[in-house]
Amino acid sequence: MKRECYPIYNTFGIDAKARLYVEYGSEDELLALLPELSAASRLLHVGGGSNLLFTSDFDGVVLHSGIRSIEVVGEDDDFVLLRVGAGVVWDDFVAHCVAHGWSGVENLSLIPGEVGASAVQNIGAYGVEAKDVIVSVETIGLRTACRRVFQNEECRYGYRQSVFKQELRGQYAVTYVTYRLSKHFVPHLDYGNIRAELADAEPLTPQHVRDAVIRIRQHKLPDPAVQGNAGSFFMNPVVSREKFESLQAAYPQIPHYDAPDGVKIPAGWLIEQCGWKGRAEGRAAVHDRQALVLVNLGGATGADILHLSAVVCDAVWQKFGIRIHPEVNVI
């Protein structure tokens, strides 16, 4: 499908149009299109539009995958390998796994977006990240029109990071992701209030965990269909142990998690302490139940959201001396 001057779907509900919008249904279709598209234009590959903030129309070609297959490509007594098209809605994939009794992604229930983005963003929630179940990522080079498969280690995954967001940013379209799910349920219940939410589920199944995660998310996070947003707007900052100790002396209740390179502090907590939770600046606001989320109150532009983001970052810097950075991709 090819459309000119076409609105780009984004969960922030910002009006933005692509000069040309192209959805392809197979690798061969993408390979056939690339020479013509990449010669002339800027290219932007999008997924479900749940992590994008547009500050203007996009004067180029927006690509979207319509590859939506889920196939079992290997299995033994313990594990199943699933090769999944990049255009599959992420939560449909989670529901598919849970319905078959395969575990590994149930904690990632209800995250907006598509399978391709799970491998780019290394989506994560409630103690689990996509990298824990990704085996390999199949791609096509947007400038080279060559296929390339990245094994998990080559993706260089970190907290909300991958090689596809860093050195190779914008260079590859993800076509398929292969995940390894477990046939034996290993629950991950140590994050936050998941265990409490599951109090009387016995015996525990991936479906129980999925239901609990859905309840928690629906309670805390705004539904983009009702109020435009892109989930967490900021990443949680990691500070040095010395910095953390001085903060903890001043704020003994400060929530924190150990991270490989220091101590991770929830940005939502920092923003709330600055008095910004629930506050609006024009048509953009900080969500009233999770301060990490910025929302479009209706009719906000990308510039309105960016302005609020800058004001909030500045408030956190002034009060705590910590820089917080957007997680969303600003286009």
* Catalytic residue positions, numbered: 160, 232, 327
Q: Give the footprint of ligand EPU on this chain (CB under 6 A).
A: 125-126, 191-192, 220-221, 231-232, 235-236, 255, 266, 268-269, 272, 277, 290-292, 327
Closer to ligand EPU by CB, 254 or 303: give it.
254
Q: Closest approach of Cβ 236 to ligand EPU, in Å?
A: 5
The 3-state DSSP class for residue 286 equals: strand
For the CB of residue 296, give the shortest distance to ligand EPU in the complex, in Å.
15
Report residue 273: phi and psi, to 5°: -60, -30
> In whole angstroms, how close is the CB of 268 to ligand EPU at the nearest point?
3
In the numeric block, which tokens belong to residue 51?
């992590």
Least distance between ligand EPU and beta carbon 83 (Å): 25
Q: Which is nearer to ligand EPU, 210 or 277 (CB)?
A: 277
Smallest distance from ligand EPU to CB 287, Å: 8
Q: Which is nearer to ligand EPU, 70 or 322 (CB)?
A: 322
Select 286 or 300, whichever has its Cβ closest to ligand EPU: 286
Encode burial over 206-231: b for 16+ CB neighbours within 10 A, e otherwise: bbbbbbbbeebbeeebbebeebbbbb
Residue closer to ligand EPU (CB basis): 44 or 292: 292
Nearest to 26 by CA among 76, 66, 57: 66
Tell the residue number behind the tokens 């995660």, with chain if given.
213
- Residue 26, CB half-sphere, CA atoms under 13 Å: how many? 3
Q: How many alpha carbons fall within 13 Å on the CB side of residue 156? A: 9
125 or 294, CB closer to ligand EPU?
Answer: 125
Whether 234 contacts 324, CB under 8 Å = yes
CB atoms within 10 A of CB 269: 18
Q: Which residue's C-beta sits nearest to ligand EPU? A: 231
What secondary structure, in 3-state letters, does 107-162 show? HHCCCCCEHHHHHHHCCEECCEEHHHCEEEEEEEECCCCCEEEEEHHHHCCECCEC
Q: How near is the Cβ of 198 to ligand EPU at its closest, in Å? A: 15
